[in-house]
Amino acid sequence: MAASTRSPDSLDWREIASLGEQLVNTNSLIAQRDRIVSMATRLLDGQAEVWLHENLFRLPDWKEKRLFPPQPRLEGMRRAVEKRKPCVLRATKKSASKKVYAAVPIEDQGFVLGALQVTRSKGPNFQKEELEVLESLASVVAIGLYASHRAEVERFRMGQLNLVREVSTQIASVLQVDELACRVTELIQKTFNYYYVAIFTLQPGASSLRFRSSATAPHKGRKKTALALEVEIGQGLIGEAAASGERIVASDVRADARYRYLEPLPETRSEVVIPLKIEDRVLGVLDVQSDRFAAFHPNDLLLLQALADNISRAVESARLYSDLRRRADQLTLVAEVSRSVTSTLDLDELMAETAALIHDKFGYPYVHLFTVHPNRRLIEYEAGSGKRSKALEGYSIPLDDSQGIIPFVAREGKTVLVNDVTQEPLYRPSPLPPKNTRSELCVPLSFGERVIGVLDIQSDRLNSFTEDDRVMFETVAGTIAAAIRNADLYRSEQWRRQVADSLREVAGLLSDNVGVEDALEAILIEIERNLPVDISAIWLYDDDDLYLAAVHGADGNEIEKARLANPEASVAMTSAMFADEPLIRKPSDPLWPSGAAA
């Protein structure tokens, strides 16, 4: 029997009721639509079509393309949805078309979930009993769809809880912030297929956020890479969230004046930035970007906030552990430097070992130790660790150089801590590659009131040093300075013994009545053995004039010519001959003959 000739009494209402159960047990809108269309077509003998308000059903983790347009395609459906009551088109004798339809809204719990329309292109008109069947069918469909959706929501929420639990489990044992950030960003990006996910941390008092890790969606034909961003506090959506401590949701980033366009992320359409907080303290931010407008469902935001809370606690735990480990490393460093001081008097060995200890314990890329020589007005490189250390061998800096942190510290005896070298007027870039220094800590090595050396530590990251670092390295600097002093005393004592041996050697020659030339030659040899000289010469006085009796390191004739050409040099040498104590030529004094010849 055709549906149009059925009476309500002949219908199997249990069949209609069973549709609701079928819808509850089906979690696909495509399958649900097909079941509704199939039953409506069979019961009402017409072409059935269903429109569903997909936004009410769509969950954040759905990856299928949209099935239904934002508004119903058929006129009857649109009118039924707008008026929220059945809409019927009947054919009349005067009408040219015999097309008829009946449309009803699918409504439950006060929400219009969609619409159901049955069309007959050649009639007949729908009878009252048929309209009752259509309304009953729509009512059952509404209840089934609503119940199915509630089940899907519960499933989704369980998935959310499982994800939060998974993240919590993964990060519970992670005690390194970078490793923690890497795991979390990868997990969030892969689970929700977001365009870009990143974590930044914030140190107390810092002016910028420190990038930790990011994950980006894979692009066809392009290798997946992590993208690091530099963010100042208050800059862009990320910096603003860190400054205010409030979550920012931008459904369309182009409409938000705070949004900062980045060329490496051209497809960003919406963004959410969630502060990582412990009470009112901002530890950093979780940044999530999507390549779709209004991509963040309220359920997404609930989940991301729950994840952010867990991440915050993990970051705080990792920081506390890092602080404890750093303090342990500081104490270990002080102890090991002290042990080195007591185990060796070799200055070169001591300084090389100290630089290596600091490099290994704290991971700074550049650790350098210098000695200060006030008489020569020089700062000389002694030892270091890092990529520049080998190239720095033999390197020296003028003590009176007005530029540079190292000369300033050597002259003033004050520690300089700079966490952004671009903001420090004294800073001068290294003459050696790599030129990537971002922060620097320079500590004087002082013994008593005298600066005898400099410990210079440089990092390729902003905000690498804290006040605790300053105190710790000043403590280490005192130990190093004492070691340098001890090594100097030991070396001085060795030198004095060597000089005493040289004097005995020369005295022995003189007592053996050797010739003058042999005696002078022996004296010059001993001078070269005991002093850092390039040219040594002995002048003798005879017939009211000086003459060059012996020379090492230069041509004697050239030195004689230089003396004759520079009367001031002869006067200076004569003054030295009659002086009560040795004379030391200052850099501002005229050159003496050896210097002029050189």
Give the burial class of 439: count Cβ atoms within 10 A of its Cβ; 0-12 exposed, 13-18 middle, 19 or more buried.
buried
Residue 16 clears pLDDT 70, i.e. is over it: yes
Residue linked to tokens 């520079």: 566
H helical segments located in 173-259: 177-192, 236-244
Calculate Rg over the CA atoms of the chain: 44
Cα–Cα distance for residue pair 552/559, rounded to 1 Å: 11
Q: How far apart are CA 312 and CA 299, in angstroms?
A: 20
pLDDT tens digit sequence for 357-414: 888 877 888 999 999 998 889 999 998 888 888 888 889 999 999 899 999 999 999 9
Strand, helix or coil at 66?
coil
C-alpha span between 440 and 361 (Å, rounded): 17
Q: What is the pLDDT of residue 170?
A: 67
Q: What is the largest CA-CA distance in the chain?
A: 153
User: Per residue in 291-322, pLDDT tens?
Assistant: 988 888 887 888 888 888 888 888 887 777 77
Residue 486: pLDDT over 70: yes
Lowest mean pLDDT among 5-14, 176-185, 345-354: 5-14
CA 144 to CA 24: how far, in whole Å?
Answer: 5
Give residue 158's pLDDT. 77
439-447 and 450-459 beta bridge pairing:
antiparallel
Determine the pLDDT at residue 246: 95
Q: Where are the alpha helices (DSSP H) in 46-127?
A: 54-57, 75-83
Q: Count CB-CB contacts under 10 A for residue 426.
A: 17
Name 185's Cβ contacts closer than 8 Å, sequence gap at least 6: 197, 198, 199, 213, 214, 215
Given a contact cutoff of 8 angstroms between Cβ atoms, the answer to whether 241 and 274 are in contact is: yes
pLDDT tens, 199-247? Answer: 999 887 788 898 989 998 887 655 555 566 778 899 999 999 999 999 9
The answer, yes or no, to whether residue 103 has pLDDT greater than 90, is yes
DSSP string for residues in 425-452? TT----SSS-----EEEEEEEEETTEEE
Instruction: Give the SS3 label for residue 580.
Output: coil
Q: What distance lies between CA 68 and its chain's CA centroid?
A: 44
Q: Which conformational region is residue 370 in: left (phi greater than 0), alpha (psi within -120 to 50 degrees), or beta? A: beta
Contact 438, 465 (CB under 8 A): no
Q: Which two tokens stand for residue 199?
A: 């974590």
Its sign, for the CA torsion 221, 224, 230, 235, is positive
Per-residue model confidence as pLDDT tens digits over 406-428: 999 999 999 999 999 999 999 98
Average pLDDT over residues 240-255: 94
Residue 150 has pLDDT above 50, yes or no: yes
pLDDT tens digits for 163-176? Answer: 767 766 766 666 67
C-alpha count within 13 angstroms, C-beta hemisphere, residue 383? 17
Which stretches within 173-217 are classed as H helix?
177-192
How does the average pLDDT of the chain come out, rounded?
84
Closest CA to 490 of 381, 388, 345, 305: 345
pLDDT for 2: 42
Give the residue from 359, 330, 382 showing the smallest Cα distance to 458.
359
More confident residue, 346 or 417: 417
- E strand or H helix at 469, and its extent? helix 467-511
347-362 vs 467-511: helix axis angle to the nearest 10? 160
Confidence of residue 258 (pLDDT cuts 50, 70, 90): very high
Helix (H) or strand (E) holding 275: strand 270-278
User: Are 416 and 426 contacting, i.e. CB atoms less than 8 angstroms apart?
Assistant: yes
Please give the share of the chain, as a percent, with pLDDT higher than 90.
30
Tokens of 231: 């963010």
Confidence of residue 3 (pLDDT cuts 50, 70, 90): very low
